[in-house]
């Protein structure tokens, strides 16, 4: 991101040099990670290099308003050089989805590989793993969409382990196509075929529009359950990121319920950017299914899903992970204070 200060901005920074950091703080609030930042001598005054969610350019107008010291802001997307070289040489690209993953032989293979794909990561590191609310699935007859907050690579593993067996047998999770389903990326430990077969995942093209939902729609039509993280990327702040509308579009189009699950403790076990897993307590708390009335608009549906998870999220921020349990009650002192 390139920035050019206006005269009042220069004056503000001269008086309070720490205001330069406000830009970093604003970026971090939108789930960005600052990599480098430079003051420049030339046509632009500051250059900040950061990692951000896809389609971040859509936030440009908001950013320009927040950065009160700048007269002009230019955001330029970049791509990894090795990946770029493969793309232009047609050695890369994405593969999938693989429709064979819902066949009986694939399900049996996935069951046989379950410990290798999931168990070996969950059991040794989630000590203990607290699961509540499994009984809420008993009221759902057909397929459903399971959603959860997203803070760690451990999220999908724990979420899968928390589900009742009837759902685990026939559930498929969306994963970023440009990360997990790249053709010709030999350094990937888990190749696309393994993702589809052992993990039961399918590629989602980030920023792919409504076409990106064609495969999960097909899965729901086949009676399969679907897992999607509506934040789209792992959160690095104390606030949940803005939800995408994909889940709402699916649920409304196919008239299926959405089951929110709030995950706790996993950010500490494996934070974003870390390859090391630190054993510790974790939790998966299944909330009430959300059924949408006929005529519900997509933004309203997204808001309902967000509020279901964010209510628990705010409770956890205030009282700790144990407050994610649906049966949790606030301390007596807090109840008395609220009543008065």
Q: Could you give the domains of the chain?
A: 2-74 (3.30.70), 99-324 (3.40.1130.10)
Q: What is the pLDDT of residue 29?
A: 74
Q: Which two tokens stand for residue 272?
A: 């974003």
pTM for this model (two decimals): 0.73
Q: What is the pLDDT of residue 235?
A: 63
Q: How many C-beta atoms lie closer than 10 Å to residue 204's C-beta?
A: 26
pLDDT for 22 equals: 78
Average pLDDT in the 247-268 region?
94
Chain position carrying tokens 């009042």 = 8
pLDDT of 48 strictly over 80: yes
Question: 284 near 131, Cβ under 8 Å?
Answer: yes
| Displacement of CA 206 from its chain's centroid (Å) | 12
Distance (Å, whole) CA 35 – CA 33: 6
Check residue 247 and give its pLDDT: 94
Q: In sequence order, what E strands does the chain have?
A: 2-5, 33-39, 46-51, 70-74, 126-132, 145-148, 171-176, 201-204, 225-228, 258-264, 280-286
Dihedral of CA atoms 271, 272, 274, 279 in degrees, nearest 10, equals 20
Residue 195 CB: number of other CB atoms within 10 A?
Answer: 24
Which of the residue ranges 27-31, 75-79, 269-273 has the most confident prediction, judged by mean pLDDT? Answer: 75-79
Query: Whole-angstrom Cα distance, residue 302 to residue 248?
Result: 6
* Cis before 128 (ω within 30): yes
Split at pLDDT 50, 70, 90, the class of 66 is low
Q: Vertex 224, ends 182 and 289: CA angle to 5°?
A: 110
Buried b (16+ CB within 10 A) or exposed e, 159-183: bbbbbeeebbeebbbbbbbbebbbe
Stretch 239-251: mean pLDDT: 88
End-to-end CA distance of the chain: 49
pLDDT digits (tens, 9 = 90+) for 187-233: 555 788 889 999 999 998 876 667 789 999 999 999 999 999 998 76
- Asked if 287 and 308 touch (Cβ cutoff 8 Å), the reply is yes
Higher local confidence (pLDDT), 119 or 237 = 119
**What value does the mean pLDDT of the chain take?**
84
In this structure, what are the phi and psi dihedrals at residue 165, rounded to the nearest 5 degrees?
Answer: -60, -35
The answer to which of 12-16, 290-294, 298-302, 329-333 has the lowest mean pLDDT is 329-333
The alpha-carbon radius of gyration of the chain (Å, integer) is 22
Share of the chain above pLDDT 70, in %: 84
């Amino acid at each position: 991101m390139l920035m050019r200060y206006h005269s009042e901005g220069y004056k503000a920074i001269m008086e309070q040099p720490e205001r330069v950091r406000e830009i970093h703080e604003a970026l971090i609030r939108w789930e960005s990670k600052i990599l480098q930042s430079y003051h420049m001598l030339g046509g632009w005054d500051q250059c900040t290099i950061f990692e951000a969610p896809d389609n971040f350019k859509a936030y440009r107008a908001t950013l320009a308003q927040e950065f009160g010291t700048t007269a002009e802001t230019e955001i330029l997307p970049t791509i990894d050089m090795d990946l770029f070289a493969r793309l232009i040489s047609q050695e890369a690209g994405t593969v999938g989805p693989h429709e064979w993953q819902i066949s009986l032989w694939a399900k049996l293979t996935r069951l046989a590989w379950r410990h290798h794909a999931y168990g070996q990561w969950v059991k040794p590191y989630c000590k203990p793993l607290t699961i509540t609310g499994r009984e809420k699935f008993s009221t759902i007859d057909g397929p459903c969409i399971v959603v959860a907050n997203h803070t760690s690579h451990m999220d999908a593993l724990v979420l899968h382990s928390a589900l009742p067996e009837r759902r685990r047998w026939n559930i498929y999770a969306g994963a970023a196509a440009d990360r997990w389903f790249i053709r010709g990326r030999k350094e990937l430990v888990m190749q696309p075929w393994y993702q589809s077969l052992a993990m039961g995942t399918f590629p989602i093209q980030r920023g792919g529009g409504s076409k990106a939902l064609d495969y999960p729609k097909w899965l729901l039509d086949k009676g399969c359950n679907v897992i999607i993280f509506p934040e789209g990327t792992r959160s690095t702040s104390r606030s949940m990121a803005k939800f995408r509308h994909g889940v709402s579009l699916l649920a409304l189009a196919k008239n299926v319920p959405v089951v929110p699950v709030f995950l706790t403790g996993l950010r500490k076990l494996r934070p974003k950017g870390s390859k090391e897993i630190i054993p510790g307590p974790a939790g998966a708390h299944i909330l009430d299914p959300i059924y949408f009335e006929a005529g519900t608009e997509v933004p309203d549906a997204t808001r309902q899903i967000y509020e279901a998870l964010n209510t628990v999220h705010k409770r956890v921020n205030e009282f700790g992970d144990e407050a994610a349990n649906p049966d949790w009650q606030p301390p007596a002192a807090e109840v008395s204070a609220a009543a008065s």
